[in-house]
């Protein structure tokens, strides 16, 4: 897996101060994407054990609320294995941090019949607290929306969604 950047003090991609990993690789190619350079699966730097250590160290301070995955596309099959490993480490070593994920796939695509749903997808999903789902749609762009770019996107509480068997939206 490759990644475009790590933001160690991100206040735009989830509540509070966060560490965000922008993974590389996305086949959605949404018109008006703010991060089109990350469509290329080889964009940026190779993700390594050192990258993982850097992310975990950045997450340690008490003022960091959580970790955010975005890209690119975290649920592209090529990215899932590395992200499962990383999210498991965050859960085990820093259990007080929440994990958010932004995906162009909808929750239904991630859990249904799509290229995003591979052998270990359910495990990755289970490690996430909140999923911002759906492709960015330029005609539905709304800069007044919190934590999303277009009105078709949802902010989903994954723990409640999995427990209740239906999509439950996140509430602040």
Look over the chain and give the mean of its residue pLDDT values, rounded to a whole number. Answer: 96
% of the chain at pLDDT higher than 70: 100
Confidence at 33, pLDDT banded by 50, 70, 90: confident
Burial code (b: 16+ CB inside 10 Å, e: under 16) for 101-137 equals bbbbbbbebbbeeeebbeeebeebbebbbbbbbbbbe
Q: Distance between alpha carbon 40 and the CA centroid of its chain, in Å?
A: 17
Query: What pLDDT sits at residue 31?
Result: 87
Task: Tell me if residue 151 falls in helix, strand or coil.
Answer: coil
Average pLDDT score over residue span 66-88 = 97
Summarised one tens digit per residue, pLDDT across range 84-99 is 999 999 999 999 999 9
Average pLDDT score over residue span 150-169 = 96
Task: Tell me if residue 51 falls in helix, strand or coil.
Answer: helix
SS3 sequence, 83-114?
HHHHHHHHHHHCCCCEEEEECCCCHHHHHCCC
CB 135 within 8 A of CB 102: no
pTM value is 0.95
Query: What pLDDT sits at residue 63?
Result: 98
Question: What is the C-alpha to C-alpha distance for residues 82 and 46, in angstroms, rounded to an integer?
Answer: 11
Confidence at 118, pLDDT banded by 50, 70, 90: very high
In this model, does residue 29 exceed pLDDT 90?
Answer: no
């Amino acid at each position: 897996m490759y990644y475009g950047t790590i933001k160690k003090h991100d206040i735009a991609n989830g509540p509070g101060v966060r560490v965000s990993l922008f993974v590389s690789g996305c086949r959605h190619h949404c018109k008006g994407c703010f991060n089109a350079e990350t469509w290329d699966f080889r964009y940026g730097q190779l993700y390594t054990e050192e990258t993982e250590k850097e992310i975990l160290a950045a997450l340690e301070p008490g003022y960091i609320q959580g970790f955010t995955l975005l890209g690119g596309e975290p649920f592209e099959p090529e990215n899932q294995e590395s992200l499962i490993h990383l999210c498991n480490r965050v859960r085990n070593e820093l259990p007080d941090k929440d994990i958010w994920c932004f995906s162009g796939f909808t929750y239904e695509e991630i859990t249904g019949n799509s290229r995003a749903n591979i052998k270990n997808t359910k495990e990755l999903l289970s490690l996430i607290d909140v999923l911002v789902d759906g492709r960015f749609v330029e005609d539905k762009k709304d800069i007044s929306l919190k934590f999303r770019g277009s009105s078709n996107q949802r902010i989903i509480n994954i723990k409640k969604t999995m427990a209740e068997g239906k999509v439950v939206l996140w509430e602040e």
